[in-house]
Amino acid sequence: MVLAETTLMPDLRCQYTNERARNPRGHTTMNGALNGTFAQVTSVHYIIIALNLLLLLLARPILERLLVKREKRQFDFQVNVMRGLNLAILAVVCYNAFYASNEGANGLAFRILSILVVLYLAYLTANIASYVMRRRYGKVVTGAEGTAISDTYHSRMLTLVISTFVAIVALIAIIRIAGYSSLLEAGGVVGFVGVFLALTQAAWAPDIISGLVLLNSDMVSEGDLIELDDPPLICRVFKTKIFHTVVIDIINNHRVMISNSRLRQQTIHALSKFASARGLREKLIFKIGYDIEPKQVRKLFNDAFQIACEQDNSALDETHPLEIKVLETGDHAVEWGVFYYIKDVQSLVGMRQLLTETILHTSLDQGISLATPQTHVVTQQSPAVT
């Protein structure tokens, strides 16, 4: 026995020495573990990872092509949603490839991955459908922000139909992936979603329907100039969205958001949809005393109109003469109406201010007062002291 142990010891020592020389720091064991880990990653995993990395890098240019022109904050949010889905898919794919590859199609990681893929494809499909419908049935609008394709009634309606169909298909797919295979279980999930939509329909349904009605009427198109009564506002339509309309107050130069249902309920003056071939006709009202002869008043307005037309930035249409009418003969003054046409509807407020100021300066030069005359004097006598 002692001889056998003595004989085996040199062989064991030589084997250990050779192994130590080949792998002084245990690299063979580590490499074996890594090779075993990466051996679980299939070509499908590599394809999904590469595709997600590519979509992650191209998220911004893809959405710039598909989405309409919008604010930077909203666009960045859309890009972050798309990139967030990509990152979630990457995380689940890596987990499934390296740690849960033996779970199979019924594993939790595979189900989460499938749900994320369905959400991503539904989101991308809805945006592509919106882009195609807008390109096919939209309207080209040229405004201060440049040329863009805006939604019309047909493009918005078809987009809603396709998006609803995509959402229903995605919901059914997610229910099936989550394991609700029986009709009773799936019907319960769909019924819960239906009850939620029915309870909240008062908050979103009127705005959607009103938005479609406004688009179909073609009275509130993007880029049009409109005038509202409540609140009194002259504005340009910036964007008609699903639930609200964004307008630009051209006097104060800021954006105003109005719900589609409220916008539909009030009176809208579509200034860009003028009925005459001459263009938009505007009116200014002045009250001048009876001591000024009508020919002097007409000369005042015509002279001021000619001066205003000679301005470099004037959008007044000088091809059509000024129309001067007596609107009312009151107790204290004559109410005169000055009617004129403008070339560019977007310059309505500027031309109104320009012509009013020019009439004021001309009246001062000609000695005509634009103030309403006071034909009686009210005096207050102190009571007699007894």
Higher-scoring residue by pLDDT: 99, 246: 246
Residue 183's pLDDT band (cuts 50, 70, 90): low
26 sits in the region (left: phi over 0; alpha: psi -120 to 50; else beta) called left
CA distances to 104, 150, 259, 281, 291 from 339, in Å? 79, 33, 34, 7, 23
In order of 301, 322, 346, 357, the CA distances from 309 in angstroms are: 12, 11, 17, 13
Residues in CB range of 335: below 8 A, 6 or more apart:
285, 286, 287, 326, 327, 328, 329
CB-based burial, 201-213: b 16+ in 10 Å, e otherwise: eeeeebbbebbbe
CATH architecture label of 280-366: 2-Layer Sandwich (3.30)
Q: Which two tokens stand for residue 121?
A: 């494809």
CATH of domain 180-270: 2.30.30
Task: Centre a 10 Å sphere on the Cβ of residue 281 and count the other Cβ atoms it contains.
Answer: 15
Render pLDDT for 370-382 as a digit per residue (tens, 0 to 9): 887 776 665 666 5
22 has a pLDDT exceeding 80: no
Average pLDDT estimate for 90-113: 69
What does pTM read for this prediction? 0.63
pLDDT in tens, 242-267: 889 999 998 888 899 999 999 998 88
Residues 25-52: tens digit of each pLDDT: 444 554 544 454 555 667 777 787 888 8
> Quick one: pLDDT band at residue 181, thresholds 50, 70, 90?
low
pLDDT tens readout for residues 157-174 = 888 889 888 888 888 888
DSSP state of 316: B
Lowest mean pLDDT of 50-59, 160-169, 188-197, 216-225, name the range. 188-197
Q: Which residue from 359, 377, 231, 218 is spatially nearest to 300, judged by alpha carbons?
A: 359
Angstrom CA distances, 259 to 23, 95, 220, 264, 330, stand at 73, 45, 13, 9, 42
* Average pLDDT of the segment spanning 203-216: 87
Kindly state the tokens that stand for 355: 């012509």
Q: What is the mean pLDDT of the chain?
A: 79
Q: Domain map of the chain by residue range?
A: 35-133+157-173, 180-270, 280-366
- pLDDT of res. 378: 59
Q: Is 221 exposed, middle or buried (0-12, 13-18, 19+ CB in 10 A)?
A: buried
